[in-house]
Amino acid sequence: MSKKFIATPSRTKEILSTYSFHFKKSLGQNFLVDANILENILKQAGIDKGAGAIEIGPGIGALTEQLAIHADKVLAFEIDQRLLPILNSTLSDYNNVTIIHQDILKADVRTAIEEYFHPDQPVHLVANLPYYITTPILMKLLMEKLPVASFTVMIQKEVAERMAAQPNSKSYGSLTIAIQYYTNAKVVMNVPKQVFMPQPNVDSAILRLVTREEPPVEVDDEDFFFTLVQACFAQRRKTLRNNLLSHFKQKYDKEEISLLLEEIAIDGTRRGESLSMEEFARMANAFYRNRK
């Protein structure tokens, strides 16, 4: 890749120096300075000239630039006002990029998609997400059920492993269930901390989430399902029965919980990490139908 691209240590330093830009720790700013990693992200994201791309936190435009080259249109959300003049300059060669100065957690992303992209166009989200709010961002976007075909995101390695985990593993928990209810999740690449400026304290990974057309399980009430899943993981060392009793003590006594679990053939002495999503759905539906 040509040296003129933003994603090199020398070009990044030059841009930061020109604008006297200082990183804000509170915004989790770590800029990628390795063009090969960017190439891999784009390959994994399946971006082509027919696709629309959404980016969150474009920084100085390293990934945005590559998206502009390979996608039809790019829509990027940036919270830090100081970066807007930098992005105007670094991306001035590309007329297919729109930057929205807004906090993604407050943005109406659905309306933005409808206004900016063609209705028949596949839209993919590709981003190097700020690690301190990775989960709230992804959960907001997934729960809004946006017309986004896939999410290819660079996040903290440990969080990526939790999102893509399988039952009976240490990483498997309520976050796993929430992410995999909406998507097929896979860690596609690990990324060392050395390719960022400044270097974060943790290693990263690229997580690929392909949006499901339908959830893999049928639940009577989604909110209740997620509440029950969280209750089952509240204290990982506790059995299902004890975690459920602890959470639902105003509604059920120990005997009622044991009876409900017996009815759906789930052993109350098991722990949350041993249950499949199908078992969680069965349990949530049984408790929801018997709620007082």
Q: Which two tokens stand for residue 269?
A: 């002495």
Rounded-to-5 percentages of helix, strand, coil across the chain: 45, 15, 40
Decide whether 9-211 matches 222-289 in CATH topology.
no
- Over residues 55-68, mean pLDDT: 96
Phi-psi region of 101 (alpha: psi -120 to 50; beta: other; left: phi over 0): beta
With 0-12 / 13-18 / 19 or more C-beta atoms within 10 angstroms meaning exposed / middle / buried, residue 8 is middle
pTM for the structure as a whole: 0.93
**What average pLDDT is seen over the chain?**
94
User: Does residue 41 contact residue 63 with C-beta atoms inside 8 Å?
Assistant: yes
What is the residue extent of each domain of the chain?
A: 9-211, 222-289
Query: Which pLDDT belongs to residue 292?
Result: 55
- Over residues 151-173, mean pLDDT: 97
Binding-site residue ranges: 30, 32, 57, 78, 103, 128
- Over residues 24-53, mean pLDDT: 89
Query: Which pLDDT belongs to residue 2?
Result: 42
Query: Which pLDDT belongs to residue 201?
Result: 85
CA separation for the pair 265, 280 (Å, rounded) = 12
- Over residues 35-39, mean pLDDT: 92
Q: Using pLDDT thresholds of 50, 70 and 90, give the confidence band for residue 3.
A: very low
In degrees, rounded to 5, the angle at the alpha carbon of residue 176 between the alpha carbons of residues 214 and 169 is 130
Query: Which pLDDT belongs to residue 200?
Result: 83
Q: Which two tokens stand for residue 270?
A: 């098991």
Query: pLDDT of 256-266, one tens digit each?
Result: 999 999 999 99
Query: Which pLDDT belongs to residue 132?
Result: 86
Residue with the larger pLDDT of the pair 31 and 228: 228
- Over residues 158-186, mean pLDDT: 97
* 27, pLDDT greater than 80: no
User: Does residue 200 contact residue 144 with C-beta atoms inside 8 Å?
Assistant: no
CA separation for the pair 247, 122 (Å, rounded) = 42
User: Does residue 19 contact residue 11 with C-beta atoms inside 8 Å?
Assistant: no
The strand ranges marked E within the chain are 31-32, 52-56, 73-78, 97-101, 123-128, 150-156, 183-191, 196-197, 204-211
Q: Using pLDDT thresholds of 50, 70 and 90, give the confidence band for residue 1.
A: very low
- Over residues 206-232, mean pLDDT: 97
Amino acid, res. 144: E
**Fold designation for 222-289:** Helicase, Ruva Protein; domain 3 (1.10.8)
Binding-site residue ranges for S-adenosyl-L-methionine: 30, 32, 57, 78, 103, 128
* 242, pLDDT greater than 90: yes
- Over residues 221-237, mean pLDDT: 96
Q: Pairing mode, if any, of strands 31-32 and 196-197?
A: antiparallel
Query: Which pLDDT belongs to residue 291?
Result: 78
Query: pLDDT of 108-156, one tens digit each?
Result: 999 999 999 999 999 999 999 988 899 999 999 999 999 999 999 999 9
Q: Using pLDDT thresholds of 50, 70 and 90, give the confidence band for residue 252.
A: confident
**Fold designation for 9-211:** Rossmann fold (3.40.50)
